[in-house]
Amino acid sequence: MPRRRRDAPRAVTIADVAREAGVSRATVSRAINDSDLVTAETKRTVEEAIARTGFVMNARGRALATGRAETVGVLVTEPLDELFDDPTYGRVLRGIAEGLTGSGFLPVIVQASSESERALALRSFERRSVDAVVHLTPYRGGDLLEALAGTGLPVVLCGQLVDSPYEGVFSTVYSDDVRGARLAAERLVADGRERVAAVLGPADNPATVDRRRGYAEVLGARLDEARTVHTGWDSTGGFSATAALLETHPDIDAILAGSDRIALGALAALRAAGRRVPDDVAVIGFDDHAIAANASPPLTTIAQPLVEEGQLAARLALEMIAGAAPRTEILPMRLIPRTTA
Amino acid sequence: MPRRRRDAPRAVTIADVAREAGVSRATVSRAINDSDLVTAETKRTVEEAIARTGFVMNARGRALATGRAETVGVLVTEPLDELFDDPTYGRVLRGIAEGLTGSGFLPVIVQASSESERALALRSFERRSVDAVVHLTPYRGGDLLEALAGTGLPVVLCGQLVDSPYEGVFSTVYSDDVRGARLAAERLVADGRERVAAVLGPADNPATVDRRRGYAEVLGARLDEARTVHTGWDSTGGFSATAALLETHPDIDAILAGSDRIALGALAALRAAGRRVPDDVAVIGFDDHAIAANASPPLTTIAQPLVEEGQLAARLALEMIAGAAPRTEILPMRLIPRTTA
DNA sequence: CCGGCAAATGAAACCGATTACATTCCGGAG
DNA sequence: CTCCGGAATGTAATCGGTTTCATTTGCCGG
């Protein structure tokens, strides 16, 4: 006989409930699962017995019998040093947890940074230790996505893929960078800004590409190619790029930043150059990072609905578990008006 | 017979491995679990069979047989609106995931904000659906902690409890606020600051109490009672409190802030009052929030080792699962020297 | 009053592992 | 040469549920 956990009192099982209710285990199971094969009468009897015995379903036994785990794996492959102080991860996670609340499914975090951890995670997925996978910040490198598809499990990608060949096999949730960028640009147009500059993140980043497109669509000639520069995501990049820009194009009256940290660098450069914000130059960031609200002056920025992203990812996962076809949802970003634009 | 998941190919079980290896299921199980009852020879045979069949252990079957779930529940009760944009949650979570990596245990997030969710979570814990619980930001209200103790499960509290009656029953991990505060204070002393002010968070907060004590121990008369004020955690509180303080005590040459956001407010107030930082007034924050590095000037602050906290919590949980007695670990904070002090 | 059919229930197989207990197969002591 | 003991393995019970299949029960029409 298996060794029981130390001092664990013998648990109440359906057998106990069955005895108490004077029916068989099968009937108890059916009553619990709302089968239409049991009388309302019997169901009530069983429910009373459950209440009297304090029975709580053992998830493992059920999982074993049904082949379902009642869990959703949250696969995180993000390199640990990146985005370290970014609340993104936590917010999406919270959204997922919220989205699963009440479904009976629980989120299981599977962190797989190294190649070996990834292989391990995949093998456990293959073995159906989770009923679905929500993959955060999907990562094209290696053959992870292909392997994920190979498991046959429902998979929800949280975050955008450049040109996904996985339409129809994975569900996807992401925020509409193009639309978000348009919102920022429209704000500047409404404000009468004429000579706009863009200080963007790395040129090969998919988010950068989309944001740039959104800016261009709205601003047209107001955003000169020569006033569009790429730099790193952090504030030092934003600072130096802006400083250089102010040298070559001293007449700019607005800056669209590729991230809030870039925007902070831009603000510093503007202050150093003696420009007033927003009087002389407007600035709009991206992400609604914690630093945006606390910047001086407080930064107008574009917010990604991260919690909603997580919630929706969870719901899509549940849908697919229930048999629905994969689908893609694009969430709208919001302009958070503060002081800088 | 239970309905199998759609299109799920029949899984490889130990029975298949046993057939392939020409031994019994029991022997396979023993080989897998490194029992010393199997010959090295047999073990090798089994391992080859495993490799050939591509067998992966079914965690649920094992969990059912052993009574262990191979999971650690991460209980989050934090009210959702608080600390919303704080990376704390995510970092600790990541630490936990890292700390569990390689142990075979997986973290399961159990979010229980409402009373009913809390009850549900507890019932599932009681049923041994997890092997241990790591409780984030423990919360004295209600009888949650008592109920947690009642489950008999190993519990690790992550974060400090004011005056815990649970010594010896829960393990606890938290950062040493007193020591952190001393670090900040010592920095000011070394810098020759003589008239120090403290703009702290709510007076009844345990962290505030500890930090205040740490400041007082080091600074003595340098930190006048009259220059110690309490306010809310955010920057507006920091701003107004600092502004008021500058009115009544214009001669202060350093400010110890109860949080980074308070510190940011203080910086703004100092700038408004025409004081230079750090030349006229030094400022030290607390938490190493993302905004600290991005402040202007970059904020010197005290960092909590959040990831390490999570890692340690995970390790303590594993220890207790293995039968170790609960213990308390207090992690050292670090001074992050930047520009403001 | 009886046969037949459907609804409700019970009995038992099963999910995939672990482990107590039984069995086999050694070698070595007497 | 026999017997004993321990090591290695096999057999089967078990964990806590679900589900198939068989059985019982109740109701109806003929």
| A84 C-beta neighbours (distance < 10 Å), count | 15
Condensed to tens digits (0 to 9), the pLDDT of residues A93-128 reads 889 988 998 888 889 988 887 888 888 888 888 777
Number of residues written out for chain A:
341
Kind plus residue range of the DSSP H or E element containing A334: strand A334-336
Q: Report the SS3 class of residue B293.
A: helix
Residue A137 lies in a domain: yes
Asked whether residue A6 is domain-assigned, the answer is no
Which amino acid is residue A212, in one-letter code? R
Instruction: Establish if A133 touches chain B: CB-CB under 8 angstroms.
Output: no
pLDDT for A223-254, tens place per residue? Answer: 989 999 999 888 889 999 999 999 999 999 99
Kindly state the average pLDDT of the residues A25-32.
Answer: 93
Give percent above pLDDT 90 in chain B.
58
Q: Do A109 and B111 lie within an 8 Å CB cutoff?
A: no
Name the residue with higher pLDDT: B83 or B165: B165
The CATH number linked to B205 is: 3.40.50.2300
Residue B295 near residue B204 (C-beta atoms within 8 A): no
Q: Which helix (H) or strand (E) holds B194?
A: none
User: Are residues A192 and A254 in contact, defined by beta-carbon separation less than 8 angstroms?
Assistant: no
pLDDT, one tens digit per residue, over B242-254 is 999 999 999 999 9
Which residues are paired to A284 by β-bridges?
A256, A300
Closest CA to A256 of A218, A309, A297, A290: A218
Q: What is the pLDDT of residue B191?
A: 95
Q: Who wins on pLDDT, B68 or A140?
A: B68
**Chain centre distance of CA A85:** 16
Q: Give the mean pLDDT of chain B.
A: 88
What is the C-alpha end-to-end distance of chain A, expressed in Å?
A: 70
Q: What is the distance between the alpha carbons of residues A299 and A282, in angstroms, rounded to a whole number?
A: 10
How many CB pairs below 8 Å do chains A and B form together? 166
- Res A7: pLDDT: 45
What does the DSSP assignment read for A205-225? -HHHHHHHHHHHHHHGGGEEE
Is the bond into B297 cis (omega within 30 degrees of 0)?
yes
Q: What is the pLDDT of residue B119?
A: 83
The last residue of a domain, from among B34, B50, B65: B65
User: Hey, is B83 helix, strand or coil?
Assistant: coil
Question: Which residue in this structure is represented by tokens 């007695």?
Answer: B325
A324 and A227 in a common domain:
no
Position B5 scores a pLDDT of 41
Our count of domains for chain B comes to 3
B132 to chain A: closest CA residue: A5
Confirm whether A114 is domain-assigned. Answer: yes
With a cut of 60, say whether residue B171 has pLDDT above it: yes
Q: Does A129 touch chain B (CB under 8 A)?
A: yes
Residue A8 has pLDDT above 60, yes or no: no
Of residues B7, B113, B1, B71, the one with CA closest to residue A59: B71
Q: Kindly give the interhelix angle for B88-100 and A88-100, rounded to the nearest 10 degrees.
A: 80
- Asked if residue A29 is part of any domain, the answer here is yes
B326 or B9, greater pLDDT:
B326
Closest-CA distance of chain A to residue B153, Å:
9
* pLDDT higher than threshold 90 for residue B101: no
Do A49 and A124 fall into the same domain? Answer: no
Asked whether the predicted pLDDT for residue A6 surpasses 70, the reply is: no
Q: Do B264 and A59 touch (CB under 8 A)?
A: no
Q: Which of B229, B191, B127, B31 is CA-nearest to residue A63?
A: B127
Shared domain check, A292 and A183: yes
Residue type, A310: G
Beta-carbon contacts of residue A284 (< 8 Å; ≥ 6 apart): A184, A187, A188, A254, A255, A256, A257, A263, A299, A300, A301, A302, A340, A341
Say yes or no: B183 and B292 in one domain.
yes
Greater confidence (B13 vs A6) lies with: B13
Give which of B47, B44, B63 is closest to B55, Cα–Cα.
Answer: B47
User: What is the spatial distance between Cα B187 and Cα B183, in angstroms, rounded to a whole number?
Assistant: 6
Range with the largest mean pLDDT of A106-110, A201-205, B95-99, B335-339: B335-339
Looking at this protein, which amino acid is placed at residue B195?
R
Mean of the per-residue pLDDT values of chain A: 88
State whether A75 and A118 are in the same domain: yes
Nucleotides of D under 7 A from a protein CB: 7-12, 14-20
Say yes or no: B35 and B82 in one domain. Answer: no
Task: Measure the CA–CA gap between B257 and B185, rounded to whole angstroms.
Answer: 11
Query: Is B336 domain-assigned?
Result: no
CA A230 to chain centroid: 25
d(CA B99, CA B120): 26
Residues A45 and A138 in one domain: no
Contacts with B330 (C-beta within 8 Å, 6 or more apart), sequence order: B173, B174, B175, B176
Q: How far is CA A20 from CA A16, A52, A58, B49, B307, in A?
A: 6, 8, 18, 46, 49
pLDDT of res. B205: 82
Within a domain: residue A327?
Answer: yes
| Shared domain check, A313 and A165 | yes
Quick check: A142 and A135 in contact, CB under 8 A?
no
The Cα–Cα gap between A82 and A77 comes to 11
Shortest alpha-carbon distance between residue B186 and chain A (Å): 27
The residue among B263 and B233 whose pLDDT is bigger is B263
User: What pLDDT sits at residue B85?
Assistant: 53
- Residue A167: pLDDT over 90: no
Same domain for A140 and A288? no
pLDDT tens digits for range A44-77: 999 999 999 989 888 889 989 988 888 999 998 8
Span CA (A28) to C1' (D12), Å: 27
Pick from A5-14, A119-128, A216-225 the range whose average pLDDT is largest.
A216-225
Structure-token pair, residue B301: 């602050």
pLDDT at A251: 95
Q: How large is the average pLDDT for residues B179-188?
A: 97
Does position B160 have pLDDT exceeding 90, yes or no? no
Q: Are residues A198 and A114 in the same domain?
A: no
Residue A152: list chain B partners with CB under 8 A. 7-8
Q: Is the pLDDT of residue A148 over 80?
A: yes
Residues 57-116 of chain A within 7 A of strand C, judged by CB, are: 64-65, 67
- Cα separation, A241 vs A267, whole angstroms: 11
- B164 shares a domain with B81: yes
Comparing B29-33, B161-165, B309-313, the range with the smallest average pLDDT is B161-165
Three-state DSSP class for residue B175: strand
Residue B4 lies in a domain: no
Confidence band of B70 (pLDDT split at 50, 70, 90): confident
DSSP letter string, A227-292: EEEE--SSHHHHHHHHHHHHHH-TT--EEEESSHHHHHHHHHHHHHTT--TTTT-EEE-SB--HHH
Q: Is residue A182 part of a domain?
A: yes
CA dihedral (B211, B327, B80, A339) positive or negative: positive
A76, A41 Cβ separation under 8 angstroms: no
State how far the Cα of A311 lies from the Cα of B74, in Å rounded to an integer. Answer: 19
Residues 6+ apart with CB under 8 A from A34: none
Question: Chain B: nearest CA to A61, how far in angstroms?
Answer: 6
Task: Tell me the C-alpha distance between A211 and A240, whole Å.
Answer: 21
pLDDT digits (tens, 9 = 90+) for B109-142: 888 878 888 888 888 887 778 899 999 877 666 6
Q: Which residue intervals of chain A are DSSP H helices?
A: 14-21, 25-32, 40-53, 59-66, 88-100, 115-126, 144-150, 177-190, 206-219, 235-248, 260-272, 290-294, 306-321
Residue A53 belongs to a domain with what CATH number? 1.10.260.40
End-to-end CA distance of chain B: 70
Percent of chain B with pLDDT strictly greater than 70? 92
Residue of B255 and B4 predicted with greater confidence: B255
Structural domain that includes position A32: 14-65
**Is pLDDT of A318 > 70?**
yes
Q: Which of A5, A87, A296 sits opposite B87 (nearest CB)?
A: A87
Query: Does residue A209 share a domain with residue A130?
Result: no
Report residue B209 as tokens: 């109490």
